Amino acid sequence: MSGKLLITHAAQLITLAGPKRPRAGAEMSDLAVIEDGAVYIEDGRIAAVGTTDSLGRASGQPVDVIDASGMVVAPGFVDPHTHPVFAGTRTDEYEWRASGLSYQEIAARGGGIRSTVERTRATTEDELLEIARKYARWFLRHGTTTVEAKTGYGLSLEAELKLLRVIHRLHQEGPLELVPTLLAAHIVPDEFRDRRDQYLKMILQDLLPIVGRQKLAEYHDVFCEEGAFTESEARALMARAKEVGLRLRIHANQFSPSGAARLAAEMGAITADHLEYVDTETIGKLRDAGTIAVLLPGAVVHLGLHRYAPAREMIRQGLPIALATDFNPGSSPTPNMQMILSLACTQMDLTPAEAFTAATINAAYSLHRGHLIGSLEVGKQADVILFDCRDYREIPYYYGMNHVSGVIKKGMLIYSK
């Protein structure tokens, strides 16, 4: 390829051009679609966007051309909540849940996150990288070009740093972009069970300063839930994380109505994630704090639960929503954002347009990359997906399948079916 690429004749070009901020309320419905659309890419960046007719005439020099007739062309999905570095699977627990055990019961019996921690600790950095490479391919082939990537299966100073190195190395290799988040506060590991203060002290005094000083992560996350960390523990962790220069995300109100979501607003978290049990008043607080709600319907459906986050109320109140897979071995082993769009539409009553906005531009803003990715606008990075359908609504509608026929990352065609 010449570094100059022209995509022409898209049945629908989903640009998502619009205000330079997360989209809220009615703005989430506007995908700024161009019919018979074209995108011109130069040196990995978008140089022009318009109808095929208007762009065809503008580009004089010879360029590589992709004819996207009959296809939807859209920005790459941005997945703003994943846990992609771990060893093993939890297929045994999947089977136990089918016989009636709950996620929390399995965790209380020593399964759950702990069992993945045990396996991940016993796996070398190089082996973990090799496993994560496979997941990176899965993300890309399903149309995701950037992911937020959490640690959380090391739970010791050394093992959490090992996971951060894996995330960093995978990002360096490309083409998938990974944005690192420290989730040392996932659960208290077994060896600290009777002295949880010591584990917190390790994070606060040893790990966070290293991660902050060496800029090993951009975000800090904490699982604030019964069986994980309390609100006051989460508050202390978040305060320290901010001091060392990390921005805040939080696993909040996943299984019970707690103060975690309010804490997110109080601490100025960039995102509050899950939010299945959030109330109307707290939604207003999150909106006023400028927090983005990251919703994870894959974790609800995979755990066989029935309560989804109140997405319509969030949209009504003007709280911006992002969607993510929550890719992890326990609660949501899917890398497929298209499936998440389907769940958002059928289980949370988002429209396909709202779901697309949540999975692209809003997700990009939740990672402070709204100026770079998440829409097809001049000057942005050329992360572009070709879908084998004519109407973007078919992507969630024909559910459980992969509509992606081509993936362009930073202007390079990296996958084509």
- Cα–Cα distances (Å) from 110 to 61, 117, 118, in that order, read 63, 11, 11
Q: At closest approach, how far in Å is the CB of 25 from ligand NIG?
A: 27
The span of 49-57, 108-116, 156-164, 169-177 binding ligand NIG (CB under 6 A) equals 108-116
* Residue 330 contact, options Fe ion, ligand NIG, none, Cβ 5-8 Å cut-off depending on partner type: ligand NIG
Of 123 and 254, nearer to ligand NIG (C-beta) is 254
CA distance 165 to 85: 10
The span of 165-173, 202-210, 311-319, 323-331 binding ligand NIG (CB under 6 A) equals 323-331
* Closest of 192, 112, 193 to residue 153, by C-alpha: 112
Q: Does 189 bind ligand NIG (CB under 6 A)?
A: no
How is 217-236 classified by DSSP, letter by letter?
-SEEEEEESTTSB-HHHHHH
CA distance 150 to 76: 20
The span of 3-11, 32-40, 111-119, 122-130 binding ligand NIG (CB under 6 A) equals 111-119
Q: Does 326 bind Fe ion (CB under 5 A)?
A: yes
Pull the structure tokens for residue 142: 């399903």
Which of 329, 335, 406, 411 is the binder for ligand NIG (CB under 6 A)?
Answer: 329
Say how many C-beta atoms besides its own lie within 10 A of residue 304's C-beta.
Answer: 12
Q: At closest approach, how far in Å is the CB of 299 from ligand NIG?
A: 5
The span of 43-51, 240-248, 261-269, 323-331 binding Fe ion (CB under 5 A) equals 323-331
Q: Does 52 bind ligand NIG (CB under 6 A)?
A: no
CA distance 370 to 167: 21
Which of 235, 251, 262, 285 is the binder for ligand NIG (CB under 6 A)?
Answer: 251
Pull the structure tokens for residue 151: 């640690």
CA distance 260 to 87: 29
CA distance 283 to 314: 6
Q: At closest approach, how far in Å is the CB of 417 from ligand NIG?
A: 30
For residue 58, give the 3-state DSSP assignment. Answer: helix
The span of 121-129, 209-217, 310-318, 326-334 binding ligand NIG (CB under 6 A) equals 326-334
Q: Does 331 bind ligand NIG (CB under 6 A)?
A: yes
Q: Does 276 bind Fe ion (CB under 5 A)?
A: no
Q: At closest approach, how far in Å is the CB of 144 from ligand NIG?
A: 17
Of 81 and 409, nearer to ligand NIG (C-beta) is 81
Q: At closest approach, how far in Å is the CB of 88 from ligand NIG?
A: 11
Torsion, Cα of 340, 341, 346, 348 (10° steps): 80
Note whether 310 and 375 are within 8 A (CB). no
Q: Does 328 bind ligand NIG (CB under 6 A)?
A: yes
CA distance 326 to 337: 10
* Residue 310 contact, options ligand NIG, Fe ion, none, Cβ 5-8 Å cut-off depending on partner type: none
72 Rama sector, left if φ>0, alpha if ψ -120 to 50, beta otherwise? beta
Torsion, Cα of 385, 388, 392, 393 (10° steps): -140
Q: Find residue 272's DSSP bridge partners.
A: 250, 293
Which residue's Cβ lies closest to ligand NIG? 330
Of 38 and 159, nearer to ligand NIG (C-beta) is 159
Positions touching ligand NIG (CB under 6 A) are 83, 112-113, 116, 223, 251, 254, 299, 326, 328-331
Positions touching Fe ion (CB under 5 A) are 326
